[in-house]
Amino acid sequence: MATASAPESSLLSLLYRSYPTAISPDATELDLAHATPKIFPHSSYSDAEKADVKQWLDDIRGLTTALGKGDQHVTDTILGNINQHLSTRTTLLGTKPSIADIAAYAVLGPVVEGWDAEKRTGEKGYHYIVRHVDFVQNGSLFALQIPDEEKVAIDLDDIRFVPKAADPKEEKERKKKEKAEALTAGQEKTLVVGQTKGKKEKDAVHEAPETTAEEAPAASKRDKEKKEKKEKKEKQPKAPAAPAAPPSPSLIDLRVGHILRAVNHPNADSLYVSTIDCGDAPGSDNTSVDEATGKTVRTVCSGLNGLVPLEEMQNRKVVVVCNLKPVTMRGIKSAAMVLAASPKVAEGEDSHAGPVELASPPADAPAGERVFFEGWSTGEPEKQLNPKKKVWETFQPGFTTTDSLEVAFDSTQVPILQGGESSTTPAAGAVGKLVTKSGGVVTVKTLKGATVR
């Protein structure tokens, strides 16, 4: 039987046995988030790696909860994420050991033990999770003290399907090579034709089939049509390139959103999962149909848990950013972002400590109504912002609140808009209020001079 049949108690027992100098046998609870440096003192960990460990521990707790509730959808989602992550890594951090690997083993061990060979290493199996479990329980990197009879039995020779991950670099080189070979072949063909043309032109004339009197008119017509088609194709002018849209916050798709309901994220303590009507047409990308209301909605994850009370996230109007690239946050795909204000902080300070207030449009504004900054209403938002162009990152520093508690855009905070004669700042002024298409103003409760994102 695997060590992790009861994850919490088994994990404690396993750590006591394996790392007696790092884990006190008198401890009844573990601060897992800070246990890694004690257990692996010869490895150093950056702040980013420590944060990754904490988040993986959250995921593993989420998996434990899902397994306990028998929630197969959440279980499959988390297992898929872990398996994909491990497909290019030896440990959850890449190559360094951490408490997250051991905690994962404590939960995944008995799960893997119950899988048949097809689920372990079949075409749709969790190959990398199985490999990780075997590595953690046997690897000298972790040096876990587990009796052989308690280890998960894994037959390393029973591989039903060998997945081959595509290497992006190799794929690029392959396509480049094929293109070069095709180009070379084309040049060689042209060269051969050129070399033989003069020598065999006379013979070619004699070898050509004769055209009868009956076939001559049809052949002449075909030649004429071919010539006209070629001339028409050659004379067709190229379409002029579309002019680039001027830099403007109007490229960002801001809309009124109606939060139908919000719940705690099952796998992350800092996130809410909201069901929001953004006015999308049925069947639009990144939407679904809400079973309770029949409305077309988006699922949105927001890091507001602990900053905005959950009851304030129910049945209310908000402003949403609808053309950011969707991202998967702890196993749930998020297709928009809720705008909220928080005090500006000095560089290096915690920008998520609060207080946080939601940007609120008028309560009677319909879901999907366009929202824009005064003076920046011209132009249509892009369907989806290209992350490489960093449109959101460019203009967000100008999102602020006024002394009148109105959400506004301060163009002086956006360097790209400060260019003398080339500046596109409206003549009306540097600061424009955030308004709905029908004229309502977006406001916050109390925060003045805040940052909005």
The per-residue pLDDT for range 154-178, each reduced to its tens digit, is 887 777 776 654 455 565 665 576 6
Answer for the pair 405, 434: CB distance below 8 angstroms, yes or no: no
Q: In terms of C-beta density within 10 A (0-12 exposed, 13-18 middle, 19 or more buried), how is residue 233 classed? A: exposed
Which residue segments constitute the domains of the chain, with CATH numbers given?
Answer: 7-150 (1.20.1050.10), 249-452 (2.40.50.140)
- Candidates 132, 126, 72, 73; CA nearest to 102 is 132
pLDDT digits (tens, 9 = 90+) for 246-268: 789 999 999 999 999 999 988 88
How many angstroms separate the CA atoms of 10 and 103, rounded? Answer: 10
DSSP string, 129-149: HHHHHHHHHH-TTT-----GG
* CA 343 from centroid of its chain's CA atoms: 27
How many of the other CB atoms lie within 10 Å of CB of 406?
18
- Candidates 358, 368, 361; CA nearest to 439 is 361
How many angstroms separate the CA atoms of 20 and 23, rounded? Answer: 5
* CA 77 from centroid of its chain's CA atoms: 15
Per-residue pLDDT at 240 exceeds 70: no
| DSSP element (H, E) containing 39 | helix 36-39
CA atoms within a 13 Å half-sphere pointing along the CA-CB vector of 346 = 0
How many angstroms separate the CA atoms of 106 and 129, rounded? Answer: 12
Per-residue confidence at 115, pLDDT binned at 50, 70, 90? very high
Report field, pTM of the whole predicted structure over 0.75: no
Phi, psi of 321, rounded to the nearest 5 degrees: -95, 120
Percent of the chain with pLDDT over 70: 74
Answer for the pair 406, 278: CB distance below 8 angstroms, yes or no: no
